[in-house]
Structure 1
Amino acid sequence: MLLRTGKNLKFLYLDEIICNPIILEYFYKNTTVTFIDFHLSYGNSDYFKSMAIEELANILYKNSILTSLTIKSILLGTEGMKLLLEALDKNTAQNSLDFCSNWASTEERNMIAKFLCKNTTLKSLNLSFIDLDQKE
């Protein structure tokens, strides 16, 4: 109901509700959201996380005015990172990305680096609490 009637909604915090089909249906129709704060708790199953990341990628593909995305404390994994970065690459309105407190493997860090090298829209980037020098 809120997403359907919230015509001026700009900020959206998403957690476990992101996989609810009713919420997603209305979110795709809402064209006013410019900021998403995405957070999944550590206790979620890998299956649930992969579904949520896939839906977040779909949101990025479909929402052409989304300018800011925060992704906190999520173990994305190589496939999740790839899916998310591909969607971010297609979203040309994105100018702020906050990847704070996310663990990233060497492969995932390399993906982030390649994404950043070719990205021309980001003006703000937060990689705090990602150990870029970690050994696996």
Structure 2
Amino acid sequence: MTTAPPAPESRRGPSCPVELTLEVIGGKWATVILAHLKEGVHRYGELRRRIPAVSEKMLVQRLRTLESHGLIHRTATGPKGAEIVEYRLTEEGTTLVPVLDALYTWGLSRASRTGVRFPPLE
């Protein structure tokens, strides 16, 4: 006796490349974090200052998720309890730089058309 293939709605995995991309970098803060890390290595505290609207819990969750997807690398140095934690893009993460640049350019253009102003970075 053979079993029928699963119905399309029970199929697992992404149905198109855009869905796959959003599974990996989707979520409100993931692309913002990646955009800051494309500029170079950042300590955890620097990311908190650059993204003031994100809660500490959400930032930690997003950093862990991006690390689990192989897009960022976390390095902790120093004694336990006084560690210095830094994040950087991995080789896989750097493949997103053109995408992040395109999002930045579109956002800048959109802001100009709609009158959105951005606060200066500290």
TM-score (norm. length: structure 2): 0.33
Higher normalized helix content (fraction of residues): 2
Which structure: larger Rg? 2
- Determine which structure has greater relative contact order: mean sequence separation of CA pairs < 8 Å that are 6+ residues apart, divided by chain length: 2
